[in-house]
Amino acid sequence: MPASPPPEHRPDLSFVIPVFNGSASVARVVESIHELYADLRIEVVLVNDGSSDDSERVCAELAERHPDSVVFLHLARNFGEHSAVLAGLNHASGHYTAVLDDDGQNPPDQVRVLYDEIRTGGRDVVYGRYRAKRHDSWRNLGSRFNDRVANWMLKKPRDLYLSSFKILNRFLVDEITAYKGAFPYIDGLILRATSNVGQVEVEHLERDTASSGYTLRKLMRLWTNMFLNFSIAPLRLSVLLGLFTSASSVLLMIAIVVDKLWINPEVTRGLPTVLVIIVFFAGVQLVILGTIGEYLGRLFLDHSKSPQFVVRYVKRRGAKGA
């Protein structure tokens, strides 16, 4: 992590943009930022998250074209959006830091709305709430599921939409970057650090590129990080599941005895019933053991210093090896 400049030399506003196969759109986003925020001291941190297209070259050219304002981080492989954002936050030095996508769906001019709100409202973070979402239907469904689970797991306010489009103040950026765990989830880190959260309505545009970089596998990994890294609720749920099934088995055994002795003594209890019960309880045990094992595995990876991200090189003004 680079040394932080003194407050009087910090940019007014930093932009962190995780880039994944965004070579066709990221240049337009960066140039638009420079046009729209010429009245501010800005910094743009581009983080290439293991792209398979020409994103590395495009981002490097942007850093050369704007040496005083663009920082380029090239990660050694794909670590996922939240790890890439965390890498960018570690290199962002502005008084405020906005996070937006590389595909143009978060219009750079809408950052001004977030910036004005966080400065006048005194919030630690302000989320952008889309007036009309332009995501694919399956991702909208995933977002609704994520929202419901976050209400329970993270104690999120029910009216707060956890958008990837947001702005954070310096205090919160410093708190988030102090996290050294192997499985970062940015919104979880935000909500466990502060309750001073706001949101404003913003526009959401159609994607510049043909398809989203988000896949079902990546969404599942994101949900797993939220489930297991920022709450012990799954363990408590496992306990409740175990208690419920144990109580159900006792009631079932009582019902079998009552039925055999007083209701229908001629009925023979067959082997299929026994096998079904065994399989059911074996499944419950595996769920509980699997949940515990996942926690233990993550503890092991944290203890073994599994990296959040690996930066192959940084291209910025005055950076060694740039």
Residue with tokens 């007036």: 131
Distance CA 26, CA 217 (A): 24
One domain for residues 278 and 195? no
For residue 54, what is the domain's CATH number?
A: 3.90.550.10
Does residue 210 lie within any of the structural domains? yes
Length of the chain equals 322
Q: Are residues 246 and 164 in the same domain?
A: no
1 lies in some domain: no
Give pTM, 2 decimals: 0.78
What local confidence, expressed as pLDDT, does residue 100 receive?
A: 97
Distance separating alpha carbons of residues 97 and 113, to the nearest angstrom: 13
Let me know whether 83 and 218 are in one domain. Answer: yes
Question: For residue 320, is it within any domain?
Answer: no
Q: Is residue 266 in a domain?
A: yes
Q: How many domains does the chain have?
A: 2
Q: Quick one: pLDDT at residue 320?
A: 43
Burial of 83 (0-12, 13-18, 19+ CB in 10 A): buried
What is the biggest distance separating any 2 CA atoms in the chain, rounded to whole angstroms? 89
The answer to whether residue 2 sits within a structural domain is no
Q: Which amino acid is at 125?
A: V
pLDDT < 70 regions, the chain: 1, 3, 134-146, 149-150, 152-153, 207-223, 225-233, 236, 256, 260, 267-273, 275-276, 279, 300-301, 304, 317-322
Same domain, 133 and 249: no
Whether residues 172 and 271 share a domain: the answer is no
Structural tokens at position 298: 């993550």
Same domain, 90 and 139: yes
Which amino acid, 316? R
Same domain, 219 and 79: yes
Same domain, 138 and 41: yes
Give the CA distances from residue 106 to residues 135, 201, 313, in Å, rounded to whole numbers and listed in that order.
Answer: 12, 12, 27
Instruction: Evaluate whether residue 322 is within a structural domain.
Output: no
Q: Where are the beta strands (DSSP E) in 87-156?
A: 96-99, 125-130
Same domain, 133 and 260: no
Beta-ladder partners of 71: 45
Claim to verify: residue 262 and residue 200 sit in the same structural domain: no
Task: For residue 189, tell me if it sits in a domain.
Answer: yes
The answer to whether residue 107 sits within a structural domain is yes
Chain-centroid distance of CA 28 in Å reads 25
The string of pLDDT tens digits covering residues 238-293 is 777 777 777 777 777 777 677 767 777 776 655 556 756 776 777 778 777 877 87
User: Could you tell me which residues come within 8 angstroms of residue 113 by beta carbon, excluding any fewer than 6 positions away?
Assistant: 128, 200, 202
**Secondary structure element (H or E) that encloses residue 139, with its range:** helix 137-153
Q: Are residues 252 and 162 in the same domain?
A: no
Where do we find the tokens 């229908």? 264
Residue 190 and residue 239 in one domain: no
Dig out the tokens for 269 from the structure: 């209890």
Q: How far apart are CA 18 and CA 117, in angstroms?
A: 23
Q: By residue range, what is the domain housing residue 278?
A: 233-303
Sign of the C-alpha dihedral computed for residues 101, 92, 201 and 27 taken in this order: negative
